[in-house]
Amino acid sequence: MALLETINDPSQIRDFDNGQLQQLCEELRGYIIQCCAENPGHIGASLGAVEIAVAIHKVFDTPHDKVVWDVGHQAYAHKILTGRREAFKQNRKYHGISGFPRRDESPYDAFGTGHSSTSISAALGMAVAAQLEGRQEHVIAVIGDGALTGGLAFEAINNAGSLKADLLVILNDNQIAIDNNIGALHNYLLKVTTDQRYNRLKKSVWDRLGAGKVRKWLQRVIKSTKRNLIKQGGDTFSLFDALGFRYFGPVDGNDIATMTYMLGRLKNIPGPKLLHVVTTKGKGYAPAEKDQTVWHAPGTFDVETGRRTGAKRDIAKFQEVFGTTLLDLAREDSRIVGITPAMASGCSMTIMQAALPERVFDVGIAEQHAVTFSAGLAAEGMLPFCNIYSSFSQRAYDNVIHDVALQKLKVILCLDRGGLVGEDGATHHGAFDMAAFRPIPNLTLCAPLDEASLRDMMYSATQPAYGPTVIRYPRGYGHGSPWRGQPFHYIEPGTAVKLHEGSGVAILSIGAIGMNGVKAVERASQEKGLEVLHYDMRFLKPVDTAALQDACSRCRRIVTLEDGTTEGGLYSVVAEYIAAHGCACTLTGLGLPDRFVEQGTPAELYQECGLDTNSVYQALLM
């Protein structure tokens, strides 16, 4: 840490030589590993991008020059170098710093991120703004090969290639997303980087740097790279040249001398440029290099042995219930297929992928395409289960309306990570799904209380009474209720379940957060002798009006409980019912507030939002 601990501002590294930069990279790696072992985060991507971050801050005049990180999970070295070395110990913690770049956190974070494929669009906007205002400034977007599979990245490249603003895109190609990267673009990049000429080029970069005849050499590099790509594509231009970019590379993105050299030379070339760099995810830490999917975000670990030390519970996660149930259903019905936008491990579609690989489609980080592709499958009689994280499904809103609901195509959209996800923070909470999807006609929208009800909802959605259906459930462990190998029970659409009989006060809950209601109702009964009527509503749409009528006619107070926004969610449903029917009861809404909730453990955040068992209990007593 000899060098690193003296650096509070990247201007301090601008006169470093290659030896010092190399040492700095090593120290950064050590520090990231040490911090992430205790306080987990996205270690793999960040270890791979150390040289990219150091080279950018060495060569460019940040924060005057702007660097936009795609997704932002690879930006730990950037954070540490830009005055957040100590704060990094509180990375992703409650009241700590965010795990992603944020404009309100540092002037060096030119653009807030968390969701994929935004960097080129944002950087292009900045470059055009600089041009319009006559400002001399460099704008750099750093995007991974996974993030490049997102349609938004291509929309931006298409636009940038014709606008001709000064923009440098660094394509950080480590050939993996979270799971193995897939798709034709991936195959193309693989072809470019595995060509022998690239490997010769890598060596020649190193040799030539020593000799110092860099300018002449660069001309030859560019020429040979172009020749390389002409041959690769069997076409006159590389893919990126054809789209109006000047393509450079591929070069070794984990070689600091090469990186600073290339960036230094590209800095003053006008127009849109793309530097293709090849890196290793997890670079410098053997366990992370070896199992790159697990080490994308491995939890806590022992630095010496690489053993992961996070506590494991004996009960299943909702993700395992989803993955296992999908396979169970698919084995019985050959129409069932699984679709995931690059989150096969995260949502456990890997379970079906292992058993029935030809019926699982990882479509890349492409949520819009995932939904419309599913609609196409459904149009031809298949029964697609499309699994998307709730917050990423925001991208596919119109596809759900226009391609699924309007045409009554039976896509079963399973929204993972509904509710507060914890340490990933504001960009990743599944806060808006219920409010967003509720107004869409033809959709059925439900959320399971527990493992067995997730399983039953997935089964029921395949039955004829269901059209296009959204099933949303949370991240992580279930409640330990039995589910594995249980027979399926059919759930009629729009039916609630009475969990506790009572009068005077009623609680209406939806989803797994309802279990806090169960505990609060139990406590109210035991400690106060208060018998609260509790309905697990199960469906936000169609809503069980008989249950609403029962609660609103017999109780003077209604409490709603949901882990989505109260505005537009269950609270709104019940408020509308009360208003329409002139019911004589008051309504308290427990749910997510009208502000972005930041990062922390789920327990901390649920408490902050008044959704923990104790807060629910207090609300019942009010």
Ligand X SMILES: Cc1ncc(C[n+]2csc(CCOP(=O)(O)OP(=O)(O)O)c2C)c(N)n1
Residues binding ligand X (CB under 6 A): 45, 48, 71, 73-74, 115-116, 144-147, 174, 176-178, 281, 342, 365, 367, 392, 395
Give CA–CA dist 44/347, Å, rounded. 19
Q: Is 289 designated active site?
A: no
Q: How far is the CB of 86 from ligand X (least distance, A)?
A: 25
Q: How far is the CB of 345 from ligand X (least distance, A)?
A: 10
Name the catalytic one among 85, 92, 283, 367.
Answer: 367
Name the catalytic one among 281, 359, 417, 523.
Answer: 281
Q: Return the number of the residue (92 or 538) whose C-beta is nearest ligand X.
A: 92
Q: How far is the CB of 183 from ligand X (least distance, A)?
A: 12
Q: How far is the CB of 613 from ligand X (least distance, A)?
A: 31
Residue listed under structure tokens 């750093």: 142
Q: Return the number of the residue (326 or 343) whose C-beta is nearest ligand X.
A: 343
Burial of 526 (0-12, 13-18, 19+ CB in 10 A): exposed
Name the catalytic one among 395, 438, 455, 472.
Answer: 395
Q: How far is the CB of 147 from ligand X (least distance, A)?
A: 3
Q: How far is the CB of 412 from ligand X (least distance, A)?
A: 20
Give CA–CA dist 451/223, Å, rounded. 59
Give CA–CA dist 288/167, Å, rounded. 32
Q: Return the number of the residue (115 or 359) whose C-beta is nearest ligand X.
A: 115
Q: Return the number of the residue (53 or 128) whose C-beta is nearest ligand X.
A: 53
Q: How many CB atoms lie within 10 A of CB 315?
A: 13
- In 46-192, where do the E strands start and end? 66-69, 139-144, 167-173
Residue listed under structure tokens 């669009």: 121
Q: Phi/psi at 281 (nearest 5 deg)? A: -65, 135
**Tokens linked to 338:** 């699984």
User: What is the per-residue burial (b if ≥16 Cβ within 10 Å, else e) of 6-16?
Assistant: ebeebeebeeb
Q: How far is the CB of 390 from ligand X (least distance, A)?
A: 11
Per residue, the 3-state secondary structure of 71-111, as one string, reads: CCCCCHHHHHHCCCCCHHHHECCCCCECCCCCCCCCCCCCC
**Tokens linked to 74:** 């690879």
Q: Is 395 designated active site?
A: yes
- Tell me the β-bridge partners of 180: 176
**Tokens linked to 360:** 């699982």
* Helix, strand, coil in percent for the chain, rounding step 5: 45, 15, 40
Give CA–CA dist 302/324, Å, rounded. 31
Residues assigned a catalytic role = 281, 367, 395
